[in-house]
Structure 1
Amino acid sequence: LEAAGILRELANYLDVHIPSAQLIAIAIGVVSAVIDNVPIVAATMGMYDLTSFPRDADFWQLVAFCAGTGGSMLIIGSAAGVAFMGMEKVDFFWYLRKVSGFAFAGFTAGIAAYLVGQSLHFSLPDSLPAIPFVSGS
């Protein structure tokens, strides 16, 4: 898809029709509820290069969060969910009734917390202080 230019066309379409990068990341998260999150993130990396969004940009952090948690909204959105279905004989509709609402609430609460943190310019330090008695410190 990337070599054929389809991912670039999709990125251009999203840029024209969705007004902000945050909403694009959220849309990617919602799509990851249906399509496994790993291929979605890989496709997104093919859609936007490092000139559009540099390494460790807020966009990539939000894409990682949204795709990772969005995959839990439906049981088919992640390999772990599909494995859970098979191992525990969980029905798609049972998961939809019992779990999807909570997963969606966590998805939206996490996005809200991330965006609030970004608007307050909250960030973690680049290096953490050494912890005594922990190997590697």
Structure 2
Amino acid sequence: MPEMPSKLAEIVDEFAAAPREVVLEMLLEFSDAVPPLPAGQQGHQGMEQVTECQTPFFLRAELTPEGRVRTLFDCPPEAPTTRAFAGILAEGLADATAEQVLAVPDDLYQRMGLAQAISPLRVRGGTAVLARLKRQVREQIAGKTG
């Protein structure tokens, strides 16, 4: 059975072990880890909005011919917590296979200990981001085999 990417597992472990007062600082660091959208991608063309987020949040998962998942995220800089979710996924899922992405546990943010550090509404938004990402990957796998 595939496991989530080791880089994401490391991030989860770091957050889970961190004292509560440090977790928000760690989140803010990940808000800077969101790569900019590629040229020509502005305007959210082909991206899906995650309506559960309080902030306009858009994402797209692309399955490469090599079977890797490429993620695209767009979220305004003035929403650091929400951007942190994107930064965690962007860094943790870099170069991951579709199977590894699908193996990411749905309760990822609870495992990281974020439920104690941020509001339930934000955790729900982050969980929705992950669910949409995984759904897009499943749809692309089905499109290749179907």
Answer whether TM exceeds 0.5 for this pair.
Answer: no
Coarse TM-score class (shorter-chain normalised) = 0.3 to 0.5
Q: Tell me the TM-score normalized by structure 2.
A: 0.36
Query: Quick one: higher RCO (CA 8 Å, sep 6+), 1 or 2?
Result: 2
Structure having the higher helix fraction is 1
Structure having the higher strand fraction is 2
Report the structure number with the largest CA radius of gyration: 1
